Structures are given as structure tokens and as C-alpha cells.
């Protein structure tokens, strides 16, 4: 088995601040994903990456950057935090694009 | 853009009864259909997936897919308190789990 670790667990930032969320997986999976989960809404895909140094935009990529410098890690940057994007950010990985996704425990973002 | 809707939003079922959860989707070219379960404060976890019309059973869980009516469902036989969770349906127009579009979820409570 493997595990997905997300850091930090809780992230508090000021409006307009640049914030970075990190995700590590030891499954040796090729594909990694970032989702946002708002209260009362489903998961929305922000970015995904099918291999090291690859980036693909999801439906909600505006206002975010991502980076996949190593196979095992995928980071997400909120370029200018806004109060309406307080949510839980979930990282996931899968062996390749077509396989079941395994999720991390999430980072809860609060913007003051 | 794919629209995925779940019903009901919340559901209370007595222990031992059958639970039925519904999901409709808008893109008739969709090829992959899945259910994820998320216990409170935990990561979503894949439950079952299906590619073609019909049904698939795994233990107490059955998934039904009717592509013509743009509908699939999850049925839980002999529902247990440990089944209480948020259930998310997900759809992809590709042959696998990449570019998943999730519904908003059904909050299920199994009452002992």
C-alpha cells in the first residue's frame, strides 16, 4: 500500500497573499491531481499532471498555478488568496490516467 | 460542459434497509462512471466503477448504469451505521478515471 501526504493540514492566509500547498505520494503513481471541495459542492478539478513536469488545466485553474518537479510530489499555489475560495483542497494520484484515484486527507484553507 | 447531479441531497435510512442513491449526467458520450465515499473529515475513497450498461455487484454494493437515460445509481443492501458518509458520483468522457466530473454528493445517515 501507499499513502498521500498533504501539508499543511490547515492553512490560514491573508486576502491577496500567495499561498502554496504541497502533496507527496509514495504509490509511485504517474498521474496526480488537485481538487477543490467547497461546502455543499462536489470536487472540482484544478490541475492534473500525467508525468513529471507535465501540467494540464482543469475546470477551475484560474487563480492557481501548479508544479510537478518530481514524480512523487505535486504542489499547488494560490496566486492571490480570496475570501470566496475558502475550501478543502484535495490531492489525488492514480497509476495512470485511467485508474482509480487515491486521495489525500486534504488541506483546509482559511482566508482572513 | 458535463453536468453531474445527485439525488437526494441527504438521506436517512434505518439499519438493515436498502439504500438507493442516484446520479444523472449530461454528456451522452460519457464512458466511465464511479462512486466514491467520504467519511466525515476523511479522504474520498473509490467504491465502485462501471463502463458499460447494466449492473455490477460487489458485496453489499450494486451499481446500475443506463446510458440511454443518462442515469446511474448505487444500491447498498443491509445498510450499516458504518455506511454513513458523503457519497459522490463521478463521470468521465474518457475511458478511465482522469478528468472526472463529480456531483455535489448525497449525505447518507444510517440510523441504528
Q: Are B45 and A90 in contact (CB under 8 A)?
A: no
Pick B43's closest partner by Cβ from A44, A50, A103.
A103
Whether A90 has its CB under 8 Å from any CB of chain B: the answer is: yes
Q: Are A43 and A36 in contact (CB under 8 A)?
A: yes
Q: B105 and A101: CB-CB below 8 Å?
A: no
- Segments of chain B scoring below 50 in pLDDT: none
Q: A42 and B102: CB-CB below 8 Å?
A: yes
Which residue in the block uniquely carries the three cell numbers 448505487? Answer: B74
Q: Are B48 and B65 in contact (CB under 8 A)?
A: no
Q: Are A60 and A45 in contact (CB under 8 A)?
A: yes
Helix, strand, coil percentages (3-state) for chain B, rounded to 5, are: 5, 55, 40
In whole angstroms, give the CA distance from residue B25 to residue B6: 9
pLDDT digits (tens, 9 = 90+) for A65-107: 999 989 999 999 999 999 887 899 999 999 876 678 999 999 9
Q: Please report, rounded to a whole number, the percentage of residues in chain A having pLDDT higher than 90.
A: 81
In whole angstroms, give the CA distance from residue A46 to residue A56: 9
Pick B43's closest partner by Cβ from A40, A96, A105.
A105
Handedness of CA A31, A36, A37, A40 (dihedral sign): negative
Whether B94 has its CB under 8 Å from any CB of chain A: the answer is: yes
Q: Chain A contacts of B102, Cβ < 8 Å?
A: 35, 42-44
Whether A97 has its CB under 8 Å from any CB of chain B: the answer is: yes
In whole angstroms, give the CA distance from residue A77 to residue A20: 4
Task: State the smallest CA–CA distance between residue A61 and chain B in angstroms.
Answer: 13
Pick A40's closest partner by Cβ from B88, B90, B104.
B104
pLDDT digits (tens, 9 = 90+) for B60-74: 999 999 999 999 999
pLDDT at B96: 63
Q: Chain B contacts of A45, Cβ < 8 Å?
A: 99-101
Q: Give the residue from B37, B100, B105 with the most A CB atoms within 10 Å of its CB, the best one to mutate.
A: B100
Rounded mean pLDDT, A14-29: 96
DSSP tag of A100: P
Amino acid at each position: 500500500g501507499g499513502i498521500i501526504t498533504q501539508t499543511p493540514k490547515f492553512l490560514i492566509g491573508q486576502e491577496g497573499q500567495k499561498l502554496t500547498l504541497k502533496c507527496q505520494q509514495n504509490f509511485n503513481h504517474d498521474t496526480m491531481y488537485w481538487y477543490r471541495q467547497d461546502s455543499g459542492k462536489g470536487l472540482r478539478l484544478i490541475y492534473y499532471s500525467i508525468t513529471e513536469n507535465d501540467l494540464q488545466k482543469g475546470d477551475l485553474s484560474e487563480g492557481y498555478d501548479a508544479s510537478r518537479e518530481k514524480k512523487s510530489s505535486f504542489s499547488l499555489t494560490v496566486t492571490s488568496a480570496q475570501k470566496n475560495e475558502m475550501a478543502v483542497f484535495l490531492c489525488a494520484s492514480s497509476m495512470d490516467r485511467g485508474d482509480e484515484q487515491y486521495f489525500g486527507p486534504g488541506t483546509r484553507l482559511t482566508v482572513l | 460542459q458535463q453536468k453531474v447531479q445527485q439525488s437526494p441531497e441527504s438521506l436517512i435510512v434505518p439499519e438493515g434497509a436498502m439504500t438507493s442513491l442516484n446520479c444523472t449526467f449530461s454528456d451522452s458520450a460519457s464512458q466511465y462512471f464511479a462512486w466514491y465515499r467520504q467519511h466525515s473529515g476523511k479522504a474520498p475513497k473509490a467504491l465502485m466503477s462501471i463502463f458499460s450498461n447494466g449492473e455490477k455487484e460487489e458485496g453489499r454494493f450494486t451499481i446500475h448504469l443506463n446510458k440511454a437515460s443518462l442515469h446511474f445509481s448505487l444500491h447498498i443492501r443491509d445498510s450499516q451505521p458504518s455506511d454513513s458518509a458523503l457519497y459522490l458520483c463521478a463521470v468521465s468522457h474518457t475511458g478511465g478515471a482522469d478528468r472526472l466530473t463529480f456531483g455535489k454528493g448525497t449525505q447518507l445517515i444510517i440510523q441504528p
